[in-house]
Amino acid sequence: MTRLLDELKVEPGSSPQLGSRDPGARLGAADKTEGLERLAQLVERLAVLHNRLFAEASRSVLLVLQGMDTAGKDGTIRSVFTGVNPQGCRVKSFKAPTETELAHDYLWRIHSECPARGEIVIFDRSHYEDVVAVRVRKLAGKKVWQRRYEHIRGFERMLTDEGTSVVKVFLHVSKDEQRARLQERLENPEKRWKFRTGDLEDRALWDEFRPAYEDTLRETSTDWAPWYVVPADHNWSRNLLVAEILVGALEQLDPKLPEPQAGVESMQIA
């Protein structure tokens, strides 16, 4: 497993080479049945580790999810976090910045949503929109978005130094699979609400998003906060791999339950 995770990782200083990574790869288990069994185990393990992290209340975890529309950020969150106690876990979705947010620096809204000690916070989009979407949609000039790589490396370094593990996952979906998923959104009445015509504008910019992500992942995969590229055309494999990455990070933290009060282990309640 460690070897697989190493393959998904973008080595600091190197290019992610998205073109040579197959979004359709089914990794992590021999087949879907085995994959779902393994995921169920990881979901249970995540609940235990999260409980310890929460009880320890000294460190925290930030999971950053990025990807093109339909890459499956929502689905990943739903499936990986099903067993996690909502107390001590939070999802934050970042949309286009509001007027108030735009009146501040781009990390202002991000920093205020970072996890408190004991918490896991999931970012559904993040400060990475400020180097990717902003670049592709030309919301700021090159001079502005380019210097942000350095800010972001420093910001994540600070978070790490102060006790937050930063786990970053790029959900890598193919253009073909995106077409199928957008079509499915249109046709399925339960999913139609998710469809935005703006999604088509981003889809038309696919060839611009690609180099923007390529540069961003290379510039911001660091020893303290590396990127993982997860193939996202198959939901079961995508969910399984994100769970592996997250549980791996928590195992490494090895959170400890606080010591019980002295003498309580032999007490009998009358």
Residues between 191 and 220 that touch ligand AMP (CB under 6 A): none
C-beta neighbour count of 145 within 10 angstroms: 22
Does 94 bind ligand AMP (CB under 6 A)? Our answer is yes
By CB under 6 A, name the one of 29, 49, 69, 121 that touches ligand AMP: 69
- CA pair distance 195, 186, nearest whole angstrom: 7
- CA pair distance 202, 205, nearest whole angstrom: 5
Does 102 bind ligand AMP (CB under 6 A)? Our answer is no
Taken in order 77, 78, 84, 88, is the CA torsion positive or negative? positive
Task: Provide the mask over 121-160, with x wherever binding to ligand AMP is found by CB under 6 A and - wherever it is not.
Answer: ----x---xx--xx----x---------------------
Over 28-45, what HEC string results?
Answer: CCCCHHHHHHHHHHHHHH
- Kindly state the smallest distance separating residue 198's Cβ from Mg ion, in Å: 8
Which stretch of DSSP H or E encloses residue 168? Answer: strand 164-172
- Kindly state the smallest distance separating residue 223's Cβ from ligand AMP, in Å: 26
- Kindly state the smallest distance separating residue 202's Cβ from Mg ion, in Å: 8
Which stretch, 42-50, 91-99, 178-186, 220-228, contacts ligand AMP (CB under 6 A)? 91-99
Does 97 bind ligand AMP (CB under 6 A)? Our answer is yes
- CA pair distance 266, 45, nearest whole angstrom: 28
The residues that bridge with 229 in the sheet, in sequence order, are 170
Which stretch, 93-101, 141-149, 151-159, 229-237, contacts ligand AMP (CB under 6 A)? 93-101
Q: Are 217 and 229 in contact (CB under 8 A)?
A: yes
Q: Given the structure tokens 């959170």, which residue do they identify?
A: 255
- Residue 233, contacted partner among Mg ion, ligand AMP, none, CB below 5-8 A by kind: none
- Residue 94, contacted partner among Mg ion, ligand AMP, none, CB below 5-8 A by kind: ligand AMP
The values of phi and psi at residue 161, to 5°, are -60, -35
- Kindly state the smallest distance separating residue 68's Cβ from Mg ion, in Å: 9
- Kindly state the smallest distance separating residue 222's Cβ from ligand AMP, in Å: 21
Between residues 69 and 244, which has the closer beta carbon with respect to Mg ion? 69
Does 71 bind ligand AMP (CB under 6 A)? Our answer is no
Between residues 197 and 261, which has the closer beta carbon with respect to Mg ion? 197
DSSP secondary structure of 169-237: EEEE--HHHHHHHHHHHHH-TTTGGG--HHHHHHHHTHHHHHHHHHHHHHHH--SSS-EEEEE-SSHHH
Residues that bind ligand AMP (CB under 6 A): 69, 94-97, 125, 129-130, 133-134, 139
